[in-house]
Amino acid sequence: MKNQPSIEQALQTLKENGLKYTKKREAMIAYLAKANRYVPAKELHEYMSEEYPGLSYDTIYRNLHDFSEIGILEETELNGEMKFRFHCCSHGVEHHHHHFICTICGKTKELSICPMDFFQDQLPGCTIESHRFEIFGRCEDCQPV
């Protein structure tokens, strides 16, 4: 599997952060790594329920939140719903970047330009501690016909 090394890294990160390895957690991570886009918890729950009937939505959501807290996943709010994506740095990309996110399918594209230099110049004497920058729109596959 193409993403296997990064999945293994994510599983190691679970262990390093005191989260127990389970087949369910591995399946969740593998699904998100393969999707390579922002995925709603509901979609992941539907997928996981096929293999693990009776698995609760709350369990899925709690794990997604935990994975996000330890840096395995990125999260964003899109159309009033939290969505989750396998962290880009888990794929070996260690550079600072932002994303274009399709509002229809959740596909993402990396943006290598960061607007923070402009904002830093506009805030003399201030210290920026963090930032988040995302562009939302329709990808080439989701354009209206």
Q: Which residue ranges make up the annotated binding site for Zn(2+)?
A: 102, 105, 139, 142
Known binding residues are 96, 102, 105, 131, 139, 142
The pairing of strands 81-86 and 39-40 is: antiparallel
Known binding residues for Fe cation are 96, 131
Rounded to whole angstroms, the Cα distance separating 140 from 28 reads: 27
What is the Cα 111 distance to its own chain's centre?
15
Rounded to whole angstroms, the Cα distance separating 67 from 64 reads: 5
Rounded to whole angstroms, the Cα distance separating 108 from 86 reads: 11
The pairing of strands 98-102 and 134-137 is: parallel
